[in-house]
Structure formats: structure tokens, C-alpha cells
A and B are shown apart, each in its own frame.
Chain A
């Protein structure tokens, strides 16, 4: 449970997952998010390789022969009648983002503490919106990294994993 999670979305900025970029030097993935209001600034979150691939698969709406971990969580929701309302990036401490997932069942809303990667992977599968607080948006890493990111993406062409 996250006590500080805002219970309205008024002061929040809605984000959309744009793409997942491979950082081949560190075996991590960079999730690139854009603002839903069309403002050009980017929001980047570094995630593990398997979490990044799970997000990528959700973006591609590609399916795997067997349910992966986040498909299983989605399946729990479908069986139990739990709806994912939204994911909110609520805090950043020592370059680590904290997320809260809002879940609803029979009118009761519960919040669950989560890493951003799990929140994104589940939100994309459940068509739930993703938000960031104004405070976290202001303290985001990766500001002015657009040039670096495009260089990384150019370098990665043809080096995608199989």
C-alpha cells in the first residue's frame, strides 16, 4: 500500500509508452514515454531486460504460446473481476522510480506498490492509463538526452536480439 498516492488524476500528467530501446552495453532496456498532451519532452525509465521485453511484447500486441508473468496477472484480474484503473509514478529516490497500481473490484479501490516496469507491463495489457505526478515529472532523469537516445537507437539498428 502506498499512502501518498494521489486519489485523483487532476494534478497528474498522463504518459504513453512510446517504445522500448535496447541498451546493449548494460543488458537493460529503456522505456521511452511521451506526454499524452503531445508536449515533446520525453520520460525515460531504465528497466531489466526481461521486464523490457514484456513491455515490448505488450506494445507489439504480440502473443506468446504460454502466458508470461504479466499475462498471468492480467488473467488473475479477469478471473477475479479486478480492473486495473491506472498506474501512477509517485516518487523517485536515488534514481529509482516508484509506482502505484490502482485496482478496482466491486467499487472498492486498492493500491499496490510496484516497480514502474510491472506497472507499465500490466497497464498496457489492461488498457489502463499511466500517469506521473508533477513532482516526479520535474525530477525525471533523461532530460536533454534526446540526442543521446537517437544515437543509441541508430547504433542498435541491425543489432536487435533474435
Chain B
């Protein structure tokens, strides 16, 4: 299992079993006024793929703090999560957005601890918030990128007005 993790770290796109994964970067956060939610925009390195992930307000706020590299006066939940893992020297190797079913994204967090690897089921928002704090790479499986209809998203983006951008409260 450890070999698998190193495999991920050293490769941009790699075939792991039958699941292809692509490394993604967090490009930004947007407010979605129609759903009163926030969207985390993930893009791959050559900007050919985009993955929008809808998250709640507190998760968006946590991701925003990590993007802006702002340390709040008291540890927020994901800061606590990081210190929890740090206390036992458990390391986040990578996070992978693994699946998309009925508009819900699924993610896995890969950890190493005491020479063993662990995979923990997570919401993408927690996985991304933790990855940004631990400098762990974020991947998305090809099936997720395929399933997400870019046509639908383009249409949605066209409907956005300029004032819909930059409404994040932090």
C-alpha cells in the first residue's frame, strides 16, 4: 500500500488498477446565489478539466482561510484535525475525489501512520480543507471528471452575473 502512495506522489496521471486519477489544483471559491452555497473550483494542471464542488458555508470558510493562508486566532475544525494527526505523526499523503453519485461527490483521504497506510472515507470539502493545510496533493478520478457534465456547468457559468463573484465572507 505504501508503494501505491509513492506512486501517486510521483506521477501526474497514472493508471492505478482500473482507476485513472488526475492531479487537481484549487483554483478558487465562488458563491452560488441560486443554491445559497459555495463552489470550490478544481482544475487540472493543463487547465483542460474543471471540477466544481458545492460545499456548505462553514466548509467554504475553512477552505478560504487555507487558500489565503490566514491563521485564525483559535484553531478551526480543520486546524484541529491537522494537529490531531500531527500529534501522532500521521501524515496525509493525498486526497482523491473518487466518485460522483446523484450530485454527491465522494472522497478518500490517504494517510500514513507508523509505516502503514490508511484510507479514510470523507466528504470532498473536508478532504480539500485538510489537503490545503497539510500540503497534500488533491486528485480526481477520471470517472468523476467524465461524469461531471461540463456542458451543464458552462451554461450555469454563463448565467452568473459579475456581482455573484467575490462574495465570500472572510
Contacts and interface: CB of A to CB of B under 8 A. Distances in A.
Interface residues of B, number: 28
Q: Interface residues of A toward B: which range?
A: 20 to 34
Interface in B20-63: 56-59
B87 A110 contact: yes
A82 to B, nearest CB: 6
Contact of A73 (B57, B80, B113, B118): B80
Nearest to A53: B58
Contacts, number: 77
Nearest to A119: B80
Given A48-B58, A118-B77, A82 B88 contact: yes
A68 interface: yes
Given A50-B56, A72-B126, A73-B84, A79 B78 contact: no
Given A80-B88, A112-B83, A118-B80, A67 B123 contact: yes
Interface string B102-140: 001010010101000010111100100000000000000
Interface of B: 56-59, 74-78, 80-81, 83-85, 87-88, 90, 104, 106, 109, 111, 113, 118, 120-123, 126
